[in-house]
A and B are shown apart, each in its own frame.
Chain A
Amino acid sequence: MGELKLMKGNEAMAEAAIRAGADAYFGYPITPQSEVIEYLMAEKPYERTGMVVLQAESEVAAINMVYGAAGSGKRVMTSSSSPGVSLKQEGLSYIAGSELPCVYANVVRGGPGLGTIQPSQADYFQSVKGGGHGDYKQIVLAPASVQEMADFVKLGFELAFKYRIAVLILSDGVIGQMMEKVELFDQMPRLTDEEIKEKYPWATTGKAKGTERRIITSLDLDSLKMEKHNHHLQAKYKLIAENEVRFELFNCEDAEYVFVAYGSSARIAQKSVQLARRKGIKVGLLRLISLFPFPTKQIQALCDQGVKGFLAVEMSAGQMVEDVQLAVNGRAKVDHYGRFGGIVHSPEEVEKALEQKMIGG
């Protein structure tokens, strides 16, 4: 068993970055995720593992430091919250175009604009539909516990390097700020420079004499080549969609209705399942772990099983619900419930919404 600790979600993520053998973290403070860089600075990972921690002058600079370091084959991470993640979108588009591996976290707060510092899930579209310019995807993992805040950093680096893609840990102010017991995985070694050169021949580590130079770029002025590159990216996203779907089912065996939720909304909806079941309502929960790729096939299987209605529960005005609708494709009722703008819905509100929107409606 790994080391047990009581930690905030943000702290668990920071500790996990050190333990996952990250080479660097570049960040900029913003509520509600400043604990990530505060923890790292206090922990002196440069003494523990040699990991670099740097406070950048902006989120824009931080993501570009990630771009540079990732392009040279190192394991790098950044994190921010909604307004800061908007600023990172330029860099993320370049990272997608150049196919660089990295992990970053968004501890989401209410928007739009400066919004609020309270929790929200209103950055779903930005996270799974691209965010920056161009046709691209990133792997999006949604932790629902402090444990997963830690575990998904390790998983994130595995997936990032497997596919040369950005992996987003899409958290929210609840998961980032709350304290829970977490079992920390053991320290993994950082790769040596020689290991990096061997494992990642695409990385800019200095051109050995007589070898081809490596170029990290997202530019090609020849549109036919750029179209080919885009086809390559789309093929990669398809492969990810086939192989990396992650979800959990609760009480869905006999379910007539299913809550679809992720992150803290999934924790709340789990309680709502209990409340509804006490009233004799056969409801289950599909908890999304990966938002891209989306568990379309699983939702279709639930339709096959005879589920009559899906209620998307999210702290937004209704974003993920659109992907549920696409997956259900008219075969069952789909609706949305959620408080937003920094308000967290209660299990009772969610249960009531089920009765009103799915059953009574």
Chain B
Amino acid sequence: MADITLNDIIKPENLVYEKTRLMTDKELSYCPGCGHGTAHRITMEVIEELGLEEDTIGVAPVGCSVLAYEFMNIDMTQAAHGRAPAVATGIKRVWPDKIVFTYQGDGDLAAIGTAETIHACNRGEKIVIIFINNGIYGMTGGQMAPTTLPGMKSSTSPYGRDIETMGNPLKITELVAQLPGTYFVTRQAVHTPAAVRKAKKAIRKAFENQRDKKPGVSFVEIVSNCNSGWKMTPNDSNNWMVENMFPYYPMGDIKVDGVLVK
């Protein structure tokens, strides 16, 4: 075996995996260990695999993924903080045959953009919403988010989130599932290979729904870690997520084909 060189291995017939061409070569701005990169990748893989590259317009939020348009190699619009569902509504209404999606974090989608989220979902806009929930404001340095767990420490809840004075974490995914305008609502994660496969399947279903002109929003929450904001190693943060986030934000489909399943 010793005489096999690298060039003998790099051959098309040996190719088992390649980077989707819908991710640019730009170095990701996310912290090592963060789930955003994986969520970006599987979203772009789905668009490529479904052959929707030329017909998709994405909407980037404000937050850690504000620069999503630097990494996603498709036409993109960057929205003001929380306004992505309204921006996506505007695009989809004038280009009804295009595929339109938003990619938003928890502060963007569930705090400042709550009205836009709920009303886009309630109107049944035929868009995909990908919602990354890591329970913290990562971009601005680890402040409390609408989804921060009770007792969880952040830079604006340094002694832990006090429910009495700071309110409860918002389960916005369960909330939008109740609205007649949502068609598919699911909660996923990307912390293990198995979870990534499931999440990708859910994202694929969401885009297929829109492609097939199914009525209403397809909403995919991805519970993710924020090792920097949580001040943990990537591994510890993923373990912490499984132990603490998943009980409050349980995995799985909530609404499928317009019918509540949970």
Binding site for B on A (CB under 8 A): 23-24, 26, 52, 54, 56-58, 60-62, 64-72, 74, 76, 90-91, 94, 98, 193, 204-209, 213-219
CA A225 – CA B87 in complex, angstroms? 25
- A204 and B119 contact, Cβ closer than 8 Å, known pairs A61-B86, A91-B80: no
A357: min CB distance to chain B, Å: 44
Residues in B with CB closer than 8 Å to A68 are 59, 77, 79, 86-91
B130 within 8 A of A: no
CA A311 – CA B85 in complex, angstroms? 47
A194: min CB distance to chain B, Å: 13
Residues in A with CB closer than 8 Å to B73 are 207, 213
Residues in A with CB closer than 8 Å to B56 are 206
8 Å CB interface, B43-61 against A: 53-57, 59-60
Q: In the bound complex, do residue B93 and residue A205 qualify as a contact, i.e. CB atoms below 8 Å apart?
A: no
8 Å CB interface, B85-130 against A: 86-91, 93-95, 98, 115-116, 119
8 Å CB interface, B244-258 against A: none
CA A61 – CA B93 in complex, angstroms? 14
A41: min CB distance to chain B, Å: 15
- A65 and B87 contact, Cβ closer than 8 Å, known pairs A206-B54, A206-B55: yes
Residues in A with CB closer than 8 Å to B90 are 24, 26, 64-70, 72, 76
- A64 and B78 contact, Cβ closer than 8 Å, known pairs A76-B90, A206-B55: no
Q: In the bound complex, do residue B78 and residue A205 qualify as a contact, i.e. CB atoms below 8 Å apart?
A: no
Q: In the bound complex, do residue B95 and residue A72 qualify as a contact, i.e. CB atoms below 8 Å apart?
A: yes
- A65 and B89 contact, Cβ closer than 8 Å, known pairs A91-B80, A205-B95, A208-B54: yes
B111: min CB distance to chain A, Å: 14
Residues in B with CB closer than 8 Å to A72 are 57, 77, 90-91, 94-95, 98
CA A52 – CA B67 in complex, angstroms? 30
CA A69 – CA B95 in complex, angstroms? 8
Nearest B residue to A71 by beta-carbon distance? B77
Residues in B with CB closer than 8 Å to A90 are 80
CA A169 – CA B26 in complex, angstroms? 42
Contacts A61-B86, A68-B86 known; 15 new A-B pairs at CB < 8 A? A23-B94, A26-B90, A67-B79, A69-B93, A72-B57, A74-B94, A205-B75, A209-B53, A209-B54, A214-B75, A215-B75, A215-B76, A216-B77, A217-B77, A219-B67
Question: A24, A193, A206: which contacts B93 (Cβ < 8 A)?
Answer: A24
B30 within 8 A of A: no
- A213 and B54 contact, Cβ closer than 8 Å, known pairs A72-B95, A204-B91: no
CA A90 – CA B86 in complex, angstroms? 13
CA A209 – CA B74 in complex, angstroms? 10
Q: In the bound complex, do residue A206 and residue B75 qualify as a contact, i.e. CB atoms below 8 Å apart?
A: yes
B240 within 8 A of A: no
Question: B54, B76, B83: which contacts A64 (Cβ < 8 A)?
Answer: B83
Residues in A with CB closer than 8 Å to B42 are none
CA A91 – CA B84 in complex, angstroms? 12
A287: min CB distance to chain B, Å: 35
Residues in A with CB closer than 8 Å to B116 are 57, 60-61, 64
Provide the main secondary structure of the chain A interface: mixed
Q: In the bound complex, do residue B80 and residue A94 qualify as a contact, i.e. CB atoms below 8 Å apart?
A: yes
Q: In the bound complex, do residue B94 and residue A52 qualify as a contact, i.e. CB atoms below 8 Å apart?
A: yes
Residues in B with CB closer than 8 Å to A219 are 66-67, 78
Residues in A with CB closer than 8 Å to B57 are 72, 204-206
**A-B pairs with beta carbons under 8 Å apart, 14 shown:** A26-B90, A61-B83, A61-B86, A67-B79, A67-B87, A68-B88, A74-B94, A207-B53, A207-B54, A207-B74, A208-B54, A214-B76, A218-B78, A219-B78
CA A94 – CA B60 in complex, angstroms? 14
A76: min CB distance to chain B, Å: 7
Residues in B with CB closer than 8 Å to A66 are 90
Q: In the bound complex, do residue A215 and residue B86 qualify as a contact, i.e. CB atoms below 8 Å apart?
A: no
Q: In the bound complex, do residue B75 and residue A204 qualify as a contact, i.e. CB atoms below 8 Å apart?
A: yes
Residues in A with CB closer than 8 Å to B94 are 23-24, 52, 69, 72, 74, 76
Nearest A residue to B70 by beta-carbon distance? A215
Residues in A with CB closer than 8 Å to B98 are 72, 205-206
CA A216 – CA B84 in complex, angstroms? 13
B194: min CB distance to chain A, Å: 32
- A204 and B77 contact, Cβ closer than 8 Å, known pairs A24-B94, A26-B90, A69-B93: yes
Nearest B residue to A70 by beta-carbon distance? B90
A321: min CB distance to chain B, Å: 33
Nearest B residue to A217 by beta-carbon distance? B78
Q: In the bound complex, do residue A215 and residue B69 qualify as a contact, i.e. CB atoms below 8 Å apart?
A: yes
8 Å CB interface, B190-228 against A: none
Residues in B with CB closer than 8 Å to A56 are 86, 119
CA A105 – CA B77 in complex, angstroms? 24
Residues in A with CB closer than 8 Å to B80 are 64, 67, 90-91, 94
Q: In the bound complex, do residue B93 and residue A91 qualify as a contact, i.e. CB atoms below 8 Å apart?
A: no
- A57 and B75 contact, Cβ closer than 8 Å, known pairs A90-B80, A206-B98: no
Residues in A with CB closer than 8 Å to B60 are 217
CA A56 – CA B53 in complex, angstroms? 29
CA A24 – CA B69 in complex, angstroms? 25
Residues in A with CB closer than 8 Å to B95 are 72, 74, 193, 205
Residues in B with CB closer than 8 Å to A62 are 86
Residues in A with CB closer than 8 Å to B54 are 206-209
Q: In the bound complex, do residue A213 and residue B87 qualify as a contact, i.e. CB atoms below 8 Å apart?
A: no
A277: min CB distance to chain B, Å: 51
Nearest A residue to B60 by beta-carbon distance? A217
Residues in A with CB closer than 8 Å to B86 are 56, 60-62, 64-65, 68
CA A209 – CA B88 in complex, angstroms? 22
